[in-house]
């Protein structure tokens, strides 16, 4: 697995954990989350950026997800699928250095590994609709 994939897995897992039990101190909770992992904290610097910024922008991210989950109650989205969607939508909205199609492909790969068989279609459907509204290159970074 690549370092970027390791970082996305860690970020997705943390966002999943965070959605179930929001901590009092994000910084302390992040450090505690990393303790049992095999790598040092600096190995997960990209994951840390993703987590802290995704949570910082969680209202905007959730608004997008809610907009594209028509006929589906937001609270009924599986927590792991929600974590994957939050990570991908955050990247598509705020990470100009990551092409949106990369974020979508990574989200689908995460769903194949960490969710059920139907999740990849659900996640892909939401992200594909959302990408059509973006006013930036889909296959290259903006930077």
CA–CA gap between residue 12 and residue 134 (Å, rounded): 23
Pick the CATH number of 3-131 from 3.40.50.620, 3.40.1500.10, 1.10.940.10, 3.30.160.160: 1.10.940.10
pLDDT of residue 142: 78
Please, which pLDDT band fits residue 38 given cuts at 50, 70 and 90? confident
pLDDT of 112 strictly over 90? yes
Asked whether residue 45 carries a pLDDT value surpassing 80, the answer given is yes
What is the reported pLDDT for 72? Answer: 82
Residues 6+ apart with CB under 8 A from 17: 33
* pLDDT recorded at residue 71: 81
Residue 76 has pLDDT above 90, yes or no: yes
Rama region for 71: left / alpha / beta (φ>0; ψ in -120 to 50; rest): left
Q: How confident is the model at residue 60 (pLDDT cuts 50, 70, 90)?
A: very high
Residue 1 pLDDT > 90: no
Sequence ranges of the domains in the chain: 3-131
Residue 137 — pLDDT band, cuts 50, 70, 90?
Answer: confident
- Supply the pLDDT for residue 92: 98
How distant is the alpha carbon of residue 67 from its chain centre?
A: 17
- Indicate the pTM of the whole model: 0.96
């Amino acid at each position: 697995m690549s370092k970027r994939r390791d970082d996305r897995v860690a970020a997705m897992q943390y966002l999943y954990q965070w959605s179930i039990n929001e901590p009092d101190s994000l910084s302390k909770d992040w450090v505690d989350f990393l303790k049992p992992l095999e790598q040092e904290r600096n190995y997960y610097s990209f994951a840390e950026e993703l987590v802290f910024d995704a949570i910082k922008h969680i209202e905007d991210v959730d608004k997008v997800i809610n907009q594209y989950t028509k006929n589906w109650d937001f609270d009924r989205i599986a927590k792991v699928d929600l974590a994957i969607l939050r990570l991908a939508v955050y990247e598509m909205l705020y990470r100009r250095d990551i092409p949106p199609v990369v974020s979508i492909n990574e989200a689908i790969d995460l769903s194949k590994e960490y969710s059920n068989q139907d999740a990849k279609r659900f996640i892909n459907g939401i992200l594909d609709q959302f990408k059509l509204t973006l006013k930036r290159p889909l296959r290259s970074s903006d930077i």
